[in-house]
Amino acid sequence: MCGIIGYVGTDEVVPVLLDGLRRLEYRGYDSAGIAVMEADGIGILRAAGKLRNLQQRAYHEPLHGTVGIGHTRWATHGAPTEANAHPQTDSAGAVAVVHNGILENYSSLRRELLAAGVELESDTDTELIAQLLGREDGPLSERVLKVVSRLEGQYAVVAVHHEEPDVVVAFRKGPPLVVGVGDGETLVASDVTALLHRTRRVIYLLNGDVAVIRRDGVRILDADGGELERPEETLDWDAGRVEKGGYRHFMLKEIFEQPDAIRNTVLAYLDQERCGVNLDGLGFAPEDFSKLRRVHLVACGTSWHACLVGKFVIEELTGLPTEVDYASEYRYRAPLIGEDVLVVGVTQSGETADTLAAMELARDGGAMLTTVCNVRGSSSWRLATSRMLTQAGPEIGVASTKAFTTQLVAMVLIALALRAAHGRADETDCELVGELQRLPLAVEQVLAVDRELYRRGTEMLGDATDSLYLGRGILYPIALEGALKLKEISYLHAEGYPAGEMKHGPIALLEEDFPVVAVALNGPTREKLLGNLMEARARGAAVMAVAEEDAEEVHQVADLVLPVPRVHPLLQPVVAVVPLQLLAYNVAVELGHDVDQPRNLAKSVTVE
Ligand code: AGP
């Protein structure tokens, strides 16, 4: 959601803040702002719209100082106007605050402040925090300790006070904050991508922590003001990985990074000698795995699609009944959890609020809790007792691509580990392990396909306002994912459906300008799917299919085939999704949309 950066150092702070915000812009971007500790008080600049609007203001109205805070906003309370942009201040302009999250007692705090005669200047919950801090006495950290107990909901806040020009105070409950420890400078941000170009030494703040940040380091306090120790970690991501590297968009770069991302994920966990999975050091104990009788997979969005594939893979390889839930539903129902259940929270960011809440429910119910996550040290990483890191590297494009394909690989790896723990491993595992190792080459082949085919596919979809994506079996989640990718970045309406369901409703929509995209790889239900495609054609719909190049029967039914190589049936989702990612990307570019920062979306959804 929103992006936060804070800096206490010796460099001019405005370029540092703007650079940090540029790296965070993908999280939320309807307005932005900075606060700088100037010689005569706090200087504030805010602008609605894209970051470039703030950059222009900063050029024309320069602020000077070496300490400051900045924010990119994804609106929750109040429209995305300049008045509602952060930083927000108290009425005296003594305190400035940036905030990610939502205050649930917003209405009562607002009533209380208005009754006390405070004139509020924005519709935000953030201003309430600034006003509350302004009404307390003492050093900023003491004010924070007094105010924090009055805040209900989810928040990551970074604040400054004009009487302490060398201090930034950060505190959190819910959305993440990470401190970057540099040489003579200390930073704080909502996301490590904003720190990487200055330091790789980081300290993750935990819920309830209050961090007092100065040039020479950070003191972390608990709710009573007692000092806490938090470990410093060194990140293995380098700054170059969060640059576009010559590609027009992050999304395109990330699509093309998939062979490496998959290779790294496979290599990290494969035990070639045993034809199995090596989970040493990750907290998975084979004896614990052997006690498990059921699996629950919980996630949101694209990660939920990975779980749907995971159900097919885990049930086929292990025989363990596997349920898949939207995390936002799981957290509010009464799932049957127990010690024999493995609950897997699947999340690229590790910060999705609903997924974290679902995982907490599972932990409290006594389940074995694990996470498949792309960000080491994130909240899901800390919450889980065992963890599998997808090795996709930083994913900046809002539309998830390489994180998804590595999640699919992780599902196979977890299934192989469970299978071995349940004594079901046999020689067929070696075949699957070999195919996993060849998978990056298969994805490279998909990426090398003639661009002309994508140009034709783009024409078919870009000229229509609606489309239907169909698949069956393990490939029906890929139809859902293909449709989601198109919606997210092209703003064209697309429905994903299991093909067998088409006749139960969606067929009513089909006509000439309503194309069908089928995920039609070889398998036991392909004949059935081809039957569904014939039905669609009979209604005048154009048909595009993802299928193996030599699949004659698909070529006979489809107007256009996007070819993929033949792979192991459990790995088909990985090769099948790549053409759909490229298709969505090309349509969005053709329509002139901002591919990396689609409207209304945020990379990491840290509020409900
Ligand atoms: C993916 O393209 C989406 N932006 C979105 O559905 C995403 O997958 C979802 O918000 C879950 O995020 P997570 O994997 O970081 O938990």
Cα–Cα distance for residue pair 565/141, rounded to 1 Å? 59
pLDDT at 602: 77
Q: Which two tokens stand for residue 205?
A: 């703040």
Q: Which of 356, 400, 606 to mutate to test the pocket of ligand 1 (most atoms within 8 A of CB)?
A: 400
The sheet with strand 41-48 has its strands ordered as: 41-48, 31-38, 67-73, 3-8, 186-189, 178-181, 201-204, 233-234
Tell how far the Cα of 510 is from the centroid of ligand 1, in angstroms: 29
Residue with tokens 């995971």: 310
Q: Calculate the dihedral angle through the C-alpha atoms of 263, 268, 270, 273, rounding to the nearest 10 degrees.
A: 110
Q: Is the CB of 352 under 6 A from ligand 1?
A: yes
Amino acid at 175: P
The mean pLDDT of 391-398, rounded to a whole number, is: 91
Tell how far the Cα of 200 is from the centroid of ligand 1, in angstroms: 25
* C-alpha dist (Å) from residue 543 to 111, 177, 502, 506, 510: 58, 47, 14, 15, 11
- Structural domain boundaries in the chain: 3-242, 250-447, 451-590
Q: Is the CB of 355 under 6 A from ligand 1?
A: yes
Whether the per-residue pLDDT at 75 is higher than 80: the answer is: no
Q: Is the CB of 318 under 6 A from ligand 1?
A: no
- 528 labelled catalytic: no
Per the residue annotation, which of 311, 402, 487, 603 is the catalytic one?
Answer: 603
Class of domain 250-447: alpha beta
pTM of the prediction? 0.80
pLDDT tens per residue, range 525-574: 999 999 999 999 999 999 999 999 899 999 999 999 999 999 999 999 99
- Read off the pLDDT band of 154 (50, 70, 90): confident
Which residue CA neighbors atom 16 of ligand 1 most closely? Answer: 347
pLDDT tens per residue, range 22-63: 888 766 578 999 999 999 999 999 999 889 999 999 999 999
H-run or E-run covering 92: none
Whether the per-residue pLDDT at 391 is higher than 80: the answer is: yes
Q: Calculate the dihedral angle through the C-alpha atoms of 414, 417, 423, 426, rounding to the nearest 10 degrees.
A: 90
- 402 labelled catalytic: no
- Read off the pLDDT band of 605 (50, 70, 90): confident
The mean pLDDT of 259-284, rounded to a whole number, is: 84
pLDDT tens per residue, range 498-531: 999 988 988 888 888 899 999 999 999 999 999 9
Whether the per-residue pLDDT at 321 is higher than 80: the answer is: yes
Tell how far the Cα of 308 is from the centroid of ligand 1, in angstroms: 14
pLDDT tens per residue, range 100-146: 988 999 999 999 999 999 999 999 999 999 999 999 999 999 999 99
CATH topology of domain 451-590: Rossmann fold (3.40.50)
Q: Is the CB of 488 under 6 A from ligand 1?
A: yes
Largest CA distance in the chain: 77
Q: Is the CB of 348 under 6 A from ligand 1?
A: yes
Tell how far the Cα of 354 is from the centroid of ligand 1, in angstroms: 11
- Do the domains at 250-447 and 451-590 have one common CATH topology? yes
Which CATH number applies to 3-242: 2.40.128.20, 3.30.70.980, 3.40.1080.10, 3.60.20.10?
Answer: 3.60.20.10
Q: Could you identify the atom of ligand 1 that is nearest to the CA of residue 407?
A: 14
The mean pLDDT of 293-305, rounded to a whole number, is: 97
Cα–Cα distance for residue pair 217/188, rounded to 1 Å? 11
Q: Is the CB of 604 under 6 A from ligand 1?
A: yes
Q: Which of 374, 605, 607 to mutate to test the pocket of ligand 1 (most atoms within 8 A of CB)?
A: 605
- Please compute Rg for the chain using Cα positions: 25
Omega within 30 of 0 (cis) for the link into 87: yes
Within 8 A by CB and 6+ apart from 210, the residues are: 141, 144, 145, 148, 169, 170, 171, 220, 221, 222, 223
Q: Could you identify the atom of ligand 1 that is nearest to the CA of residue 484?
A: 2
Residue-averaged pLDDT of the chain: 92
Whether the per-residue pLDDT at 7 is higher than 70: the answer is: yes
More confident residue, 549 or 580: 580
Within 8 A by CB and 6+ apart from 295, the residues are: 314, 318, 320, 321, 322, 323, 341, 342, 343, 344, 418
In 203-279, where does DSSP find H-type helix?
A: 250-256, 258-269
Q: Which of 302, 396, 398, 486 to mutate to test the pocket of ligand 1 (most atoms within 8 A of CB)?
A: 302
Tell how far the Cα of 604 is from the centroid of ligand 1, in angstroms: 7
Cα–Cα distance for residue pair 545/459, rounded to 1 Å? 14
pLDDT at 240: 65
Percentage, residues of the chain above pLDDT 70: 98
pLDDT at 506: 84
Q: Could you identify the atom of ligand 1 that is nearest to the CA of residue 398?
A: 4
Q: Is the CB of 399 under 6 A from ligand 1?
A: yes
Of 114-118, 329-333, 434-438, 594-598, the range with the lowest mean pLDDT is: 594-598
H-run or E-run covering 516: strand 516-519
Q: Which two tokens stand for residue 167?
A: 């201090």
Bridge partners (DSSP) of residue 181 are: 186
pLDDT at 210: 97
Tell how far the Cα of 303 is from the centroid of ligand 1, in angstroms: 6
Tell how far the Cα of 97 is from the centroid of ligand 1, in angstroms: 28
More confident residue, 176 or 303: 303
